Structure 1
Amino acid sequence: MSDTPGAGAVLDDRPELRSATEAVLAVDDAQDGWTFDDIPLDSGQFGELVSAGIVEKDGDEYRVADPDAVRAALDGETVDTTEGGRSVSLASALDFDLDGRATGMLAAALAVVFLARTYAIGSVYRGGDIVLSSNDPYYYRYHVEQIAASAGNAADLGALSVLPSGVINGEPLMVATLWWVASLLGGSKEMIGHVLAWYPVVSALVTAVLLYLLAVRVSNDRRIGLASVLFLAIIPGHAFRTSLGFADHHAFDYPWLVLTALALVVALTAVSDRTSLRRPLPWFGAVGIAAGIAGQVLAWEAGPLLVLPVGLVVLGQTLLDVASDRSSVVTNAPVLAGVSLGAILAGSVHAVVGWQTALVAGTPAILTVGTIVVIATAEAARRVGGTVRQLATVDVGLGVVGLLVFRFGFTEQWGTFSSRLDTLFRSDAIAETYGLFNTDSFGFLLLLGLALLLALPAMAWGIDLARSDRSGWLVASSYAWVLFALAVIQVRFVGELAPFLALFAGLAFVWAASWVDIARPVLTTSDGDLRDALVPDTRALGSLFVLFLLFGALGMVQVPVKTSQVITDDGAYDAATAIEADAAERGLEYPENYVLSQWGQSRMYNYFVNGESESYGYAQQTYEPFVSVTGSEQAHNRISGRVGYVVTTETSLEEPTTMYVRLHQHFGSQNGDVSGLAHYRPVFVSEDGSHKAFAVVPGATIQGTAAPNSSVSVATTVAVSDREVDYERQTTANQNGAFTVTVANPGTYTVTTEGEGETTVEVPEQTVYDGGNVTVE
């Protein structure tokens, strides 16, 4: 069974190769075995004949694979060279050439992607724990574990009913897929941890493969495909979001996005006339479009934003059709079929299981209606002799009318849409809501490296290529510019932009390499000869490496920097394990063992301590007011009965009376005129002092007598994480000489009474936890 189309099929699709084939056949007839130097062809034409299977390698030489079939094809006859008289090769159906050398080079590029995502494996696998990065992954880990606890096996889809509305209307497909995969692999909590840890890496690799196929399909140049994958590997904004352990929802979106773009290119470039519609390739593209659109919408509530380029592609393609006097109905038939099927899939899932809101799930249906209107308008314009400018004017008018109908005819849906739009343009303390060119930093360089500066001119070039009736570049440009606009609004879309930015960076890199004479010229079209990726000699390889460093060095440096910013550092993890051990020893259960921390790590702490990592809302509302307040009783009343532990980390607060300074810098001890704290027993301090954890306790009350109105201090030394810290509290006896003071730590206290000397008292640990009294004899 052949993995390449027959000579007849190749020459039917590529008549410009006929003369090259005749020349090679003549040489092959004249001598038994020959080399590239023996034929009057350039390397591009020769590479096309090899990849098409007309020419094959024979040791150190070449020969025509099937001379009889080639002669018959040149004579216009048909020779059966496949089993059963027809090719059943999937590679042939997808119009994808399998080339050993190119596959090996792609594998090497994918290895770079893999290493850039997994080098910090030691920060994820720590002892017996799988420590996911950042905060949100623990939200998904919690819900996957909830489903697994309710499910009998991977076929028990009814277990998905435990998902709350936040997931059902947020990322249902992602959570369901992660659970299903984990269930197939055993479904244990440990396996769920492995699946969530590795899924971003798998996403990066799948995205890279799809990007390679997209770049080669668009440019007909394997070198651009390889360069695109390498640039994707070192774009920091994509690398950290697909790093090992960063199980956020964004990584799940990337393969669907690139799949949709690839399917659009296949569907559009495989159609030249009505005869093309009888072939399977355009309909493979339609199926890919349907899967991509439905997947994007069901994977994320903001998925409708990611299908916006599809509408732009259809609009652009119809303008190209009218300019070339082609039928838009024919050209766009597979695209319309794909969009329609995507709408049916998304709508059916919403109707059956309730995933996503009606507006989100209905977006593909709206896109389908718009696609029909645009295609019909273009077809009418072509038939009446309308110009491209006139068609564009009509399209804009129809768009305005459609928006007005939506605004005033569907007021409830418009309200939902408007609120979602407000969310897109909001800017708050969450870093991913900042714009790409936010004036507070050079985020565009830190997230994208120099790939952005390299790609932008090529993106402008891509528009010009698209205007030259090249559908592949129309798709690539539409996705690149739409996602760039979204990233300018919020950097959360940088990861979605990255594959398309990498494609144009790859194009610009290969062009630059050809400009300095270390690579062959760029083709930029699928209509010419395939530019193969030849293994360069040592000198050329060194030159290419230096050129790549010039454009990629900043990204290479920023990948580990950005990744290190999201991994759970040693101090935080050690604090979590220390709290977990203390809570287990005391037999605490949720909510007695709730951990209050900065909201950005709240889910991580609570996952390891009590397993309740669904929300960080309480921490977001409570932590900052708690550490910044100056009244100790006010602070305690704010968290009493709700918090079992408090974790402090370094911050900019410097006022001595704030809870932060009193806890983090003085462990709750007396500090000059600032009194000590009664309810916070230190249980952990990191080696560098950046993280400290305190158990919230009732405290033991030391009581006794002294001279009326005299000062009394109680002090002890507390052992915390193999270090000793001083803890002191002071009080004043009343007019009858009685005094009481509550302490947060067990131990032997030295009680110093003004004018009466010192004595000691033992405070048991259980008394601190129970809130009992201890009397000074």
Structure 2
Amino acid sequence: MVTARDIRDLLDERPDLEPAITAVLEPNDPWTFEDVDVDSGAFGELVSRGVVTKTDDGYVVADREATRQALTGEVSEQADSHTAEFDLSLPSLPNTRVLTGLAGALAVVVLLRITTFSTVFQGEVVLTANDPYFYRYWVERMLTNPDTTLTTVPGGIAKGEPLLVATLWLVSSILGGTKAVTGQVFAWYPVVSALITGVFVYGLTVEVTDDRRIGIAAVVFMGTVAGHGLRTSLGFADHHAFDYIWLLLTALGATVIVRDAIDARPLTSLRTVAAMAAVTVGVAAQTLAWDAGPLLLVPLGLLIAADAVVAVYTDRDPLRSGGPLIIASALGAGLVWIAHTSFDWHTTLVVISPALLAAGGVGVVLAGTLTHRFDLPTTGLAGVTVIGAIGGTIAFTRLAPDLWARIEQSLNSRLFRTDSIAETTGLFGESGGWLLLIGLLLFVGVPYLLWATYRVRNDSKWLVPVIYTWYFLALAAVQIRFVGQLGPFLGIFGGLAFVHLAERVDVARPPTPFGGDPVRDIGTPDRQTVFAVGALFILLGAFGAAQVPLKSSQIVHTQEQFQTTSWMSDHAAEHNNEYPQNYVFSFWPDNRHYNYFVSGESRSYGYARANYGSFVSATDGGGWYNRLNNRAGYVVVTPNVVGNDSQLGTRLYREHGSGANGTDGLAHYRLQYVSSDEQYKVFTLVPGAVIRGTATPNATVTAETTVEVEGASFTYTRQTTANPNGAYTLRVAQPGKYSVPNGTVAVNESVVNNGTTITENTGS
């Protein structure tokens, strides 16, 4: 059979034949000599060289794809299925126009993710959300220890996200290892992840569709998924952005392997070997990057099973694609085992997951190969696959009951948990969060996902995006955190929809999957086309694009909040407060942020999460002071703590601890700072000064002073009742000159901080 290289060699020898070759591609096969505008001499040359062949019904182009690639000069992308030697050909790079289009798409992705720039860079690098400060805490401590190696990753991290922390530590160390450098690395790594993921999405899309326009559009639509944009935004340095790289690398490698099997490329081709390497690295990295990483391996297992069934259905040997996928999975399992035994990374349960994937794949592919070789029914293979999966699960529960119990526990704690953390809620809840997290892409992409799902019966190229998209859509329905994984795959179908709809309104050529020729060049659009394409994007993608910065803005620490944090940090340093006297007690989603800058202890927000809600809703201020004393130094309250008049949250935020609405005021909570927007108020815990004096027996005694603090001025009031002898004692949290029944009493700061008792007539 003629190959692209044969035709390219012919064109190099006879460039005058290019118009003839172009002409014979125009009619649909079969056709007659009269259907093409080619002279007889050139036509005879094409027939003699095997470019055109004669059939009973007329003439046909021997290999249209090879012919098109030869015309565009991309002969390296067409493998010669009849050669057995090791193929070292490299894929051709896109032309300048395609590279420009891809760069523009990636620029859109980046611009949507750096809208938080001013709140991330506030003199200090202020990471967004809560969890990034956990990883920053550990990386900075590893950097301060000169003996740190991969074997000394802290225990909690080694069983959680060891590869992420080790990578951030290594990159920060290479770049200088200072605290400033580490901050920059943490701030920018999610954006870099989005860029890399975008490149992989482009490659995967083009591999499936043979249309570079769809690849570019897919990158843009991935960029408009707010659930993905949020987790790859500037400063949001948690583990998810790291996971996306390896997930897409695995999917891209698997797509190339399946495509090479369809095209009958030799297993020794550089493409296939590189794709196997990609899957190997991806499987290992996904497993090592996150203790729930095995969840990200499941679609690869589903792919191996589905590919075996489809291969048999289309009369293709399942071993041709399943074999490389299994080998890559096994090699990935080997890398994971080496890391586990060498560095003590992860538990046995996590470590064995890629090995189980490879073992299950062997059974499925073996069954598929036997079905194909003996020409057995495809439905039988599908049934055997399902029964084998069920039987394997049952066998695992019997042979390894302890591991199975840990799997159930992990699923319950990771996937099916129900708590107040927003990311654990479902996508299709009552709030309509799916629209804000995905935008109209769900409406736009799902119809094309359904079309591709139907098409996989006869076109295995679509298996990877179809399986991965359905899988992560199902996971996102359980927990919205998986919208980030869904976004890149759903973006592929958004890109397909966009180009198809553009063709429907006559501003683009037909997309390749819908009968168009392979598109290797996007061309240079005129002004009318640019406006039409822009209008179509506004219609389909603008809403989602607008949600990306809006969602990102919800997790930033504003300038007013960081100023509050800085005030506490300066105050702690000025008064030589050390942990736990400088611990900040706050609403848990902000707790790591405060404590990273103030106490330095940002590895856990467990105490705040377990106690802060009870604290702000309680009424016993003295009892909570006794609990918090020697455990915390600062208490931060915001408007969301306001409840009824008797609750501590309301009395602190609205009344500043002063008596009001029938309450006596609080004695141990000294307001010290109010942010310029009055959203953040900082109290320090103090013993409080005790004022002792006399008044009318059984009378209500009021002590009152005017307080000036940074950001606020207010009247602080405390009340009590004199005893039958007229004596009273009253504890106050604020220094100042108090008016009392018999005059005034001066209370200075040291008295408040030491809990000293003073009398009306002596003052302090």
Whole-angstrom CA distance in 2 between matches of 1:525 and 1:408: 49
1:107, distance to aligned residue in structure 2 (A): 0.9
Counterpart mapping for 1:565-580 below 5 A: 565-580=554-569
Residue aligned with 1:398, SS: helix
1:298 paired residue number: 288
Whole-angstrom CA distance in 2 between matches of 1:29 and 1:330: 37
Which residue, 720, 725, 741 being the options, matches 2:709?
A: 720
Report the CA distance shift for 1:221/1:39 in structure 2 as closer, same or farther (over 3 A): farther
2:385 paired residue number: 395
1:354, distance to aligned residue in structure 2 (A): 1.6
Report the CA distance shift for 1:169/1:87 in structure 2 as closer, same or farther (over 3 A): closer
Counterpart mapping for 1:51-450 below 5 A: 51-52=72-73, 92-93=89-90, 95-127=91-123, 129-151=124-146, 156-157=148-149, 161-165=152-156, 167-271=157-261, 276-423=266-413, 424-439=415-430, 441-450=431-440
Residue aligned with 1:393, SS: helix
Do 2:194 and 2:232's aligned partners in 1 also have CA atoms closer than 8 Å? Answer: yes
Whole-angstrom CA distance in 2 between matches of 1:22 and 1:462: 42
Do 1:47 and 1:531's aligned partners in 2 also have CA atoms closer than 8 Å? Answer: no
Whole-angstrom CA distance in 1 between matches of 2:125 and 2:393: 48
Whole-angstrom CA distance in 1 between matches of 2:75 and 2:623: 83
Question: What are the Cα deviations for residues 349-407 of structure 1, in whole angstroms up to 9, with x where unaligned?
Answer: 11221211111111100001011111111111122221111110111111111011011
1:527, distance to aligned residue in structure 2 (A): 11
1:59 paired residue number: none
Whole-angstrom CA distance in 2 between matches of 1:505 and 1:27: 36
Aligned partner of 2:154: which letter?
Answer: L
Do 1:323 and 1:388's aligned partners in 2 also have CA atoms closer than 8 Å? Answer: yes
Aligned partner of 2:753: which letter?
Answer: Y
1:559, distance to aligned residue in structure 2 (A): 1.2
1:330, distance to aligned residue in structure 2 (A): 2.7
2:749 paired residue number: 765
Gaps of 5+ in 2: 22-35, 39-60
Do 2:128 and 2:556's aligned partners in 1 also have CA atoms closer than 8 Å? Answer: yes
1:770, distance to aligned residue in structure 2 (A): 1.6
Is 1:704 paired with 2:716? no
Question: What are the Cα deviations for residues 657-692 of structure 1, in whole angstroms up to 9, with x where unaligned?
Answer: 110111110001111421111111111112232211
Residue aligned with 2:715, SS: strand
Do 1:271 and 1:282's aligned partners in 2 also have CA atoms closer than 8 Å? Answer: no
2:654 paired residue number: 665
Question: What are the Cα deviations for residues 683-727 of structure 1, in whole angstroms up to 9, with x where unaligned?
Answer: 111223221110011111122233433332211111122431110
Is 1:10 paired with 2:4? yes
Aligned partner of 1:438: which letter?
Answer: G
2:511 paired residue number: 522
Whole-angstrom CA distance in 2 between matches of 1:565 and 1:206: 25
Do 1:580 and 1:609's aligned partners in 2 also have CA atoms closer than 8 Å? Answer: yes
Do 2:737 and 2:744's aligned partners in 1 also have CA atoms closer than 8 Å? Answer: yes
Aligned partner of 1:661: which letter?
Answer: T
Whole-angstrom CA distance in 2 between matches of 1:568 and 1:105: 35
Which residue, 492, 500, 522 being the options, matches 1:503?
A: 492
1:762, distance to aligned residue in structure 2 (A): 1.7
Do 1:273 and 1:331's aligned partners in 2 also have CA atoms closer than 8 Å? Answer: no
Whole-angstrom CA distance in 2 between matches of 1:23 and 1:498: 48
Do 1:435 and 1:490's aligned partners in 2 also have CA atoms closer than 8 Å? Answer: yes
Report the CA distance shift for 1:729/1:523 in structure 2 as closer, same or farther (over 3 A): same
1:301, distance to aligned residue in structure 2 (A): 1.2
Report the CA distance shift for 1:278/1:635 in structure 2 as closer, same or farther (over 3 A): closer
Question: What are the Cα deviations for residues 497-529 of structure 1, in whole angstroms up to 9, with x where unaligned?
Answer: 100010111011111111111111111299963
Aligned partner of 1:299: which letter?
Answer: A
Is 1:687 paired with 2:673? no
Gaps of 5+ in 1: 1-6, 31-37, 56-72, 79-84
TM-score by length of 2: 0.89
2:52 paired residue number: none
Is 1:560 paired with 2:560? no
Do 2:3 and 2:66's aligned partners in 1 also have CA atoms closer than 8 Å? Answer: no
**RMSD of aligned residue pairs (Cα, Å):** 2.9
Report the CA distance shift for 1:699/1:250 in structure 2 as closer, same or farther (over 3 A): same
Report the CA distance shift for 1:607/1:182 in structure 2 as closer, same or farther (over 3 A): same
Aligned partner of 1:590: which letter?
Answer: Y
Do 1:703 and 1:775's aligned partners in 2 also have CA atoms closer than 8 Å? Answer: yes
Question: What are the Cα deviations for residues 220-247 of structure 1, in whole angstroms up to 9, with x where unaligned?
Answer: 1000011011111111111111110011
Aligned partner of 1:260: which letter?
Answer: T
1:324, distance to aligned residue in structure 2 (A): 3.0
TM-score by length of 1: 0.88
Counterpart mapping for 1:577-596 below 5 A: 577-596=566-585
Do 1:626 and 1:638's aligned partners in 2 also have CA atoms closer than 8 Å? Answer: no
Residue aligned with 2:554, SS: helix
Aligned-pair identity (%): 41
1:546 paired residue number: 535
1:640 paired residue number: 629
Report the CA distance shift for 1:396/1:45 in structure 2 as closer, same or farther (over 3 A): closer
Do 2:213 and 2:519's aligned partners in 1 also have CA atoms closer than 8 Å? Answer: no
Whole-angstrom CA distance in 2 between matches of 1:465 and 1:24: 39
